[in-house]
Every structure is written in C-alpha cells, then in structure tokens.
Structure 1
Amino acid sequence: MAINLDRLVGFHQKALNIRQDKMEVIAGNLANANTPGYKARDIDFKQAMASARDQQGQGMVRTHENHIAGSMNTSWDLQYRIPTQPDTGDGNTVEAQAERNEFLDTAMRYQAGVQFLDGKIKGMKKALSGGQGA
C-alpha cells in the first residue's frame, strides 16, 4: 500500500505556508509604521485556505518566455486592513499594537501547526517501524 504524504500533511503544510506569509505581511506593516501614506495589509486566513484547496495541484504559469520560472503558489489576495483608530494626519493606517498582537497570534498558531505536524510524522515513523519506537 502506497503512502500518500500529501494526504497526511498537505492541509497542515498549506496552513503553515499561509501563516508564514501572513507573518511576513505583518512584519512589513510594522516596518512601515512610520511611513506616511502606508496602508496596512493583511491576508484573510480562511479565504486563503479555501483558495489553496481550490487550486490544489495548480502552479504558476509563465505567460512569456522572459518571465522567471517559479513555484510560489500564493493565490490569496492581500487586503487592506481597516483601521480602528482615527487617522493621525499622515495617511498611515498601521496600528503597531494591533499588528504585534496579530503577529503573536499567528506565530502561536504557526508553532501549534508545526507541533501537530511533528506528532503526525512521529506517528508515521512509529507505524513504519512496526511500533519499535521512532
């Protein structure tokens, strides 16, 4: 019987990739917290996961021979974050504390996903070794 690793970890691997991208977007927001006119961006995790499921197996398509070939599959759209605080006059919508909180939440969920995947892989190793330890 063949082992399908994508069925074992595919969903969780996609979730980790989206969370990693989300943390990069948040880090970009924090780096531009003092940039006049900068608009904070975000990735909607639920929408991104639905999009990743819908486009499973599809990669990037080169539309011109001069385009760089790549395998990045980021089909989710960056959205602008709606500010909860009034504009300070410079047009920047980054709310540093909210961004830090969102980063910490995403990082904790990322770490939980890594630990869950680690448990799945250890379980698979134990099953393959016949229960003789991993």
Structure 2
Amino acid sequence: MVSKLDDYLRFNELALNLRSQRQQLIASNIANADTPNYKARDIDFAKTLQNALDNKSSATPPLAMALTAGAHIAGAELGGESSIGGSPLQYRTVTQGSVDGNTVDMDVERNQFTDNAIRYEAAVTAINGQLKSLSAAIQPG
C-alpha cells in the first residue's frame, strides 16, 4: 500500500527536489555575476528528471561542505561539484563575452530563475491536487 502511494507521488516529489536544486544553482549564478572567470552553470531539467525517474531514487540531497577553519560559514553543495540528481552540470552558452571571463548573463539568469520558480509552484499545486484527491477517496461518503 505504501509503495503504491510512493509511486503515485514520486514524479512530483522528484520534480520538486530537482527544481529546488536548480533554483539554488541559478541563484549561485546570479550571486557570482561579478566574480571574474565564473562560468554560469545549469542542468537539462528534462534529462535530469528522466534520469532520476529511471533510477527510481530521489534526487541527490545537498551535501554539507567541509569547514577548514573555525571562521568559515557552513554551506551546502548542490549534490556535489558537478552533478544534480545524477546528471552533470552544464555550462551556459555564452551570448556575450565579458572582459573578466565571467559568463553570467543577468537577463538569462533572471528569466531562468522566474521560469523555474513558476514551474516549482505548479508542481506544488499538482501535489496539493493529488493529496486532495487521495483525501477525498478515503473520506467516508
């Protein structure tokens, strides 16, 4: 019974986890917009979700970063240096190069951030609908 419920909710659970990690990745791009030689990263969301569904495991949870000094602030990596949900991070295509080697295009990043946020909200709405339908199915007549 529980495994059927897990299967019923798995797609949206994976989608939410991946959307959340992608949002962190895009936010990292935006935060590093002025960092010399920073290369903007992203994932192919459809391929990453398909990979996660094929593996039938949840997306890779963020790992704690190692602190090498007492004054360092604890942070979280995005499922490792080079992957999210088992799919490799990709570099964004440079639309206009900069003198300092930074490839972050703020217009692209803002658009991707907003698009991902809207899709995250849509996934939350879908899960709410699934839970409401389950609740209606188990409520007595």
TM-score interval, normalised by the smaller of the two chains: 0.7 to 0.9
| CA apart distance, 1:74 | 2.4
How many aligned positions are there? Answer: 118
Residue range with higher mean Cα deviation, 119-128 or 51-60: 51-60
Equivalent residue number for residue 139 of structure 2: 129
Please list the CA deviations of residues 108-132 of structure 1 after superposition, one character each: whole Å capped at 9, or x if unmatched.
Answer: 000000011001101101111134x
Residue identity over aligned pairs, in percent, reads 42
Question: What TM-score, normalized to structure 1?
Answer: 0.81
Equivalent residue number for residue 32 of structure 2: 32
Name the aligned partner's letter for residue 106 of structure 1: N
| CA apart distance, 1:58 | 8.1
CA distance in 2, matches of 1:95, 1:49: 25
| Matching residue within 81, 92, 98 for 1:81 | 92
| CA apart distance, 1:31 | 0.3
Runs of 5+ in structure 1 lacking a partner?
61-71
Question: What TM-score, normalized to structure 2?
Answer: 0.77
CA distance in 1, matches of 2:59, 2:40: 28
Alignment of 1:17 with 2:27, yes or no, is: no
Instruction: Identify if the C-alpha distance between structure 1 residues 59 and 79 changes in structure 2 by more than 3 Å, giving closer, same or farther.
Output: closer
CA distance in 2, matches of 1:123, 1:53: 23
Larger radius of gyration: 1
Please list the CA deviations of residues 14-67 of structure 1 after superposition, one character each: whole Å capped at 9, or x if unmatched.
Answer: 11111111110000000000000000000110110121022114898xxxxxxx
Runs of 5+ in structure 2 lacking a partner?
61-78
